[in-house]
Chains A and B, each alone.
Chain A
């Protein structure tokens, strides 16, 4: 418990944690509500052509679909950075030496970090749903639309899925930080993977079967598939507004299994490296 409190203190007192949280909240609300609503209100031709569908997606009953689709991409990337900072900074500052020469064992320190990261993800999930709910409520009131809320079960499922997707990305960040023993390279590699590599490989899946198989192991592919499986049951159609589109490549069950396997592998490999490797000075 002492180690966990120490790690939570490190995350709580770090400005970067709050910047990432703020950035994530602003981005999500901007793309899920502000920009679509601006488009809906600002362009009369657009409103006449498909405006009703766009407005429907911004209303409270579509809260789950609207917000969840931001997690596999924006949310994942942001938590990847938090995961990298959680572990990678210890190498950069040389504080791993300080942490490993107290009383707690290496594995205890590592798993305390992982647990602290898992707890730190909770406000990223809860706050975005809270702000999303407020935004959708304001839009419904402004447009004289009915305020129908998703069921508590649907919201709970959405919160769990959102946390799970972020946890997978966070542990991926921790793993690449451990592999590269620092932050800079790890963030660079993580962003290249998240923003570029998955997209490029996915573009060739129709032509090359091997890449098609590969893409089914991707974090984004499985994250979107998981989100889409829930969004389908909630709304009858996948996807959120604006830039937050999701599509189902694999089944929801397969996505859960693949992501669960990946999070286990990420954590075990990182833990084994932390336990076994020599700790040299700061990099």
Chain B
């Protein structure tokens, strides 16, 4: 395996088969570069959390290789430089938020002096003395983020960090993650929220059935822009477009058509429709959202990439 300083997470044919025979991760290969915010997305049961757990040394791979920060996952050398939230943050319910962080700081050999700064960063300083069991889900999530920041880590591995947060909290958390991802620090972010990933991430990896089926910068993934056509009568417009060589797949969405076509052919399409007596009220190039990309990738039967 390459071990360049620019690669923070590197997996090669990483596989995890549980004893029950379930293949959770199937030959997963990916690279995450230093300083980037990498979005890890996939449907439920795709293998995201198992992958995260393997990166942290919590789950042992059945086969394949994996290096995190140039180290074997789960070693003190690697863990000492990683801050993480895995699934719902877990803390001792009978301890206060601050005492929980003290325990984790001890286990991480990190000075207590960082605790208040971390609590302040997630806006939890005022409730730090309350018992964890009295926290709302959003507060628990923020404490999880504070714990992840305790070590001033080089790498943040975050699994659904905005779970349970209200819209304002989600926006704050997004801002915080964006801020944390600046400079040399790397963020590996697993989330279901496409909008969240779209706003934060430099690169996206899409996982399905334990394999990466697409990976790249957001712009690259959604390169296939489409034309959005609102016209009447719609059926006649569709018939006319079907006859055109420059037009590929056509999808109908209530009163509009989404047309796969080169944006340069927009004028030709408009002319054809108007000359045939179709009233065109809208015709513009629509960028694919990450959600469109995700759905089109994960709804296909055969994995690709």
Do A and B come from the same complex? yes
Asked if B107 and A102 sit within 8 Å, CB to CB, the answer is yes
Chain A residues lying within 8 Å of B87, measured Cβ to Cβ, are 94, 97, 281
Asked if A104 and B90 sit within 8 Å, CB to CB, the answer is no
Asked if A93 and B107 sit within 8 Å, CB to CB, the answer is no
Asked if B58 and A5 sit within 8 Å, CB to CB, the answer is no
Asked if B58 and A103 sit within 8 Å, CB to CB, the answer is no
> CA of A282 to CA of B58 in the docked complex: distance in angstroms?
13
Asked if A97 and B108 sit within 8 Å, CB to CB, the answer is no
Given contacts A94-B88, A103-B108, contact A279 B58 (CB under 8 A): yes
- Proximity string of chain B (96-115) to chain A, C-beta cutoff 8 Å, 1 when within and 0 when not: 00010011101111100000
Interface assignment of A159: CB less than 8 Å from any CB of chain B: no
Stretch at the interface among B76-84, B242-250, B257-265, B270-278: B76-84
Asked if A109 and B107 sit within 8 Å, CB to CB, the answer is yes
Given contacts A101-B58, A101-B82, contact A3 B107 (CB under 8 A): yes
Chain B residues lying within 8 Å of A280, measured Cβ to Cβ, are 53, 59
Chain B residues lying within 8 Å of A10, measured Cβ to Cβ, are 92, 95, 103
Chain B residues lying within 8 Å of A2, measured Cβ to Cβ, are 106-107, 109
Q: How many of B's residues come within 8 Å of A, CB to CB?
A: 35
Interface assignment of A278: CB less than 8 Å from any CB of chain B: yes
Interface assignment of B93: CB less than 8 Å from any CB of chain A: yes
Interface assignment of B86: CB less than 8 Å from any CB of chain A: yes
Secondary structure class of chain A's binding surface, majority of residues = helix
Interface assignment of A49: CB less than 8 Å from any CB of chain B: no
Chain B residues lying within 8 Å of A109, measured Cβ to Cβ, are 107
In the complex, which range does the number of interface residues on chain A fall in? 20 to 34
Interface assignment of B207: CB less than 8 Å from any CB of chain A: no
Contact check: which of B76, B88, B89, B92 meets A103 at CB < 8 Å?
Answer: B76
Interface assignment of A41: CB less than 8 Å from any CB of chain B: no
Per the 8 Å Cβ criterion, residues 1-43 of A in contact with B are: 2-3, 5-6, 9-10, 13-15
- Proximity string of chain A (173-215) to chain B, C-beta cutoff 8 Å, 1 when within and 0 when not: 0000000000000000000000000000000000000000000
Interface assignment of A98: CB less than 8 Å from any CB of chain B: yes
Interface assignment of A233: CB less than 8 Å from any CB of chain B: no
Interface assignment of B57: CB less than 8 Å from any CB of chain A: yes
Binding site for A on B (CB under 8 A): 49, 53, 56-60, 74-76, 79-80, 82, 84, 86-95, 99, 102-104, 106-110, 147, 151
Can you sample 7 A-B contacts with CB below 8 Å?
A: A101-B84, A102-B80, A103-B109, A278-B60, A279-B53, A279-B59, A282-B90
Binding site for B on A (CB under 8 A): 2-3, 5-6, 9-10, 13-15, 93-95, 97-106, 109, 276, 278-282
